[in-house]
Amino acid sequence: MAAIIDPRQGDAEDDASSTKQRSLLSLAGSLLAEISLPKLALTWVLLIGAPALLLGLAPLLASIWLSTVSAKLAYALSGLGSALLLAGVVALGWYGGTRLIRMAEHNFWALNSLAVQPVYAMAREALRQLAESLLAATASAERRAALRAAIAAVAGLAVAVPAALLAMLVWPQTRWVGTAADLAMPGQLALAALANGFVLIVGYFAAAALVWGFADATMAQPRDIRFAQPPEPGRRRWRIAHLSDIHTVGERYGFRLESGRAGSRGNDRVRHALARLDALHAAQPLDVVLVTGDVTDAGRSAEWAEFFDALALYPALAERLLILPGNHDVNVVDRANPARLDMPFSPNKRLRQLRTISAMAAVQGGRVRVVDVAAGRIGPTLEEALAPHRAAMREFADTGTLRHILAMADLWAGLFPLVYPPDTEDGLGLILLDSNADTHFSFTNALGLVSVAQVRGIEIAKAHYPAARWLVGLHHHVVEYPMPAKQLSERIGTALVNGSWFVRRLQRILPGAVVMHGHRHIDWIGACGSLRIVSAPSPVMEATDDKPTHFLIHTLADGADGGLDLLEPERIVIAGEPVAAAAAIL
């Protein structure tokens, strides 16, 4: 029996959420048509309105508390009872004030990373795209680098000036000192707090844009590199197979949401990549197989099950495998609907994180260690760190109740970075990061962010293993590559929103380190200052079943400067398969 439409080849519905088959304008139109306005309004209040209100309230409540303490201090001199009362007020105010400051600080940085810094990055990349389109194709790498640097400074000014004007416009509505009488008029207090919060955010926006623009303009610009020559005998080498973005799907004939029918079908391409890798390892052993995120297409249980089924055939690879989370593993809310919102208290996001934690524990739980950032030391293995939480994890996975949501969120936040320790004092160590921004919206799932706490964890790992050579793995690319982009959408909204800050910090902490990432699905190998940056092509995406894809095996050598030398990689091609001519299904 021959079908008129072969169901194995998919149809237009498989392209519904595809950024490769539909334009961003088309996706935005679908978003506006399908989005739930009540959920959007509530989410805005919880994630933006409430934090802004907290920021604006902080100075008012602090001034009210200080005036109350001052009055009690004057009265305290009249007797012991008043002195005890004063001590109680001071203790309560200190405890409450500290918590308020912590809350304000957390929300300040959350707004900064997801609502402020991306605007600067968008302005910078839009200007670069325009300028590079006008630049002669024969322009030298030095001229292109100088242009990128100059545009960063211009972008900082372009964002800072309007932001400063907005802050000046709203300033007359602000009030920074409150009294106890204000507590009887919460409406007026809230309006003043919102004005304060707006001015704080926009004022910071103006100052930060100038700082970012200056920092980006003066930092080393990314550049292509020449590979190191093979080292002389006696220097240690490591073979690293670097894969990324394998996007395992949960259906035999399933298409990936990002590429639709422009990509491969099912998981045969994943299995072929693993089979080829296993054969290469048998011929010349690998030290590490690193998959830098997007192990699954949407973080669903069936997708993780398919991944483990494919991996089970290759125990030698499993023993060397290290994985880390990508945005498709934890941030895709709905495969079919980019307008779908996860409410902040929804269990679905935490379930996706929980599945990823469980997968990392199964793959590498006994081989990587967590970092105790509060204590400033390397902690137990991932397996040991998760042991006290296993019962709660299973209960939450089974019921999805609200009772464990905050605990699961704290568990996820405290796991990274993960450290794969060097086998000798000066051996190769790996640091695995979570570079996914905390988003609840499918349309913004690709945003990346490396937290300050994770960078502190890198500092702790370096202090614990001071002579080690370091490879840092994360999902998102840390800088936009110095190569032409066909569309502006390729440059905006996918790199780390704090990438330039992260690169500068990493250069100071781990000079000479190698950074490996995925996310873009294409290969680029270059440098930014003392860092070598390696982007992994996807062996699965960007090609239909009949087209070849590839991945890279890298050889790292211990460098004379205590860092790593990057040798020319080995390109491993995965051949395509002929497309069946007939549409017979029975």
- Please indicate, yes or no, if residue 310 is contained in any of the structural domains: yes
Count of domains in the chain? Answer: 2
Residues 371 and 500 in one domain: yes
The answer to whether 473 touches 493, Cβ cutoff 8 Å, is no
Task: Quick: pLDDT tens for 93-130.
Answer: 555 555 555 555 455 555 555 556 667 777 887 887 78
Query: Is there a domain that residue 93 lies in?
Result: yes
Residue 91 sits in the same domain as residue 188: yes
For 574, counting Cβ atoms within 10 Å of its Cβ (0-12 exposed, 13-18 middle, 19+ buried), the class is buried
- Per-residue pLDDT at 476 exceeds 70: yes
Among 195-204, 381-390, 430-439, name the most confident range: 381-390
Give, in order, the Cα–Cα distances in Å from 323 to each of 275, 441, 583.
18, 24, 38
Which of 5-9, 469-473, 564-568 has the least mean pLDDT? 5-9
Query: What interhelical angle do 499-509 and 452-464 show, nearest 10?
Result: 10
CATH number of the domain at 250, please.
Answer: 3.60.21.10
The pLDDT value given to residue 319: 95
- For range 332-340, the mean pLDDT: 76
Query: Are 208 and 247 in a shared domain?
Result: no
Determine which of 162-176, 208-222, 565-579 has the lowest per-residue pLDDT on average. 208-222
**What is the average pLDDT across 442-451?**
80
Q: Beta-carbon neighbour count of residue 23 at 10 Å?
A: 11
Within 8 A by CB and 6+ apart from 348, the residues are 333, 342, 400
Instruction: Look at residue 129 in the predicted model and tell me its pLDDT.
Output: 77
- Which of the four pLDDT bands, split at 50, 70 and 90, describes residue 582? very low
Instruction: Decide which of 218, 236, 265 is a domain's last residue.
Output: 218
Instruction: Determine how many CB atoms are found less than 10 A away from the CB of residue 138.
Output: 6
The answer to whether residue 411 is domain-embedded is yes
Same domain, 149 and 249: no
pLDDT at 143: 81
Q: Tokens standing for 188?
A: 């007026």
Mark whether 548 and 423 lie in a shared domain: yes
pLDDT above 90: residue 241: yes
Write out the two tokens for 23: 């334009």
**Domain residues for 90?**
37-71+84-218
Cα gap 201→5, rounded to integer Å: 55
> Quick check: 124 and 153 in contact, CB under 8 A?
no
Helical pair 186-218 and 50-76, crossing angle rounded to 10 deg = 110
Say if CB 476 and CB 515 are below 8 A apart.
Answer: no
Q: How many residues belong to the chain?
A: 586
- Please tell me whether residues 507 and 371 are part of one structural domain: yes
Tally of CB atoms within 10 A around 215? 16
330 vs 439: CA distance, rounded Å: 10
Residues 6 or more apart whose Cβ sits within 8 Å of residue 503? 219, 478, 479, 528, 529, 531
Which helix (H) or strand (E) segment holds residue 271: the answer is helix 268-283
Q: Tokens 């998981």 — which residue?
A: 267
**What's the CA gap between 346 and 94, in Å, rounded?**
33
Are residues 148 and 121 part of one domain? yes
Report if residue 4 sits inside a domain.
no
Query: 71: pLDDT confidence band, cut at 50, 70 and 90?
Result: low
Same domain, 470 and 554: yes
End residue of a domain, out of 172, 196, 218? 218
Quote the CA–CA distance of 371 and 186 in Å, as a whole number.
43
Specify if 248 maps to a domain.
yes
Q: Are 207 and 228 members of one domain?
A: no
DSSP 380: E
Strands 428-432 and 418-420: antiparallel
- 6 located within any domain: no
Residue at 1 is within a domain: no
Q: What residue type is 57 in one-letter code?
A: L
Is there a contact between 369 and 418 (Cβ–Cβ < 8 Å)? yes
Within-domain flag for 77: no
Q: Do 187 and 243 belong to one domain?
A: no
What is the value of pTM for the model shown? 0.85
Angle at 494 between CA 488 and CA 499, to 5 degrees: 110
| CA–CA distances in Å: residue 356 to residues 25, 60, 119 | 32, 42, 30
Query: Which of 25-39, 82-96, 262-276, 424-438 has the weakest average pLDDT?
Result: 82-96
Kindly report, residue by residue over 122-168, the tens digit of the pLDDT. 788 788 778 877 777 777 778 878 888 888 888 888 888 988 999 99
Residue 382's pLDDT is what? 97
What is the residue type of 503? V
Residue where a domain terminates, one of 154, 187, 218: 218
Which range, of 197-211, 477-491, 561-575, averages the lowest pLDDT?
477-491
Do 519 and 293 meet the contact criterion of CB atoms below 8 Å apart? yes
d(CA 160, CA 104): 23
Mean pLDDT of the chain, nearest integer: 83
Q: What percent of the chain has pLDDT over 90?
A: 41
The answer on 314 and 214 residing in a single domain is no
Whether residues 299 and 228 fall in one domain? yes
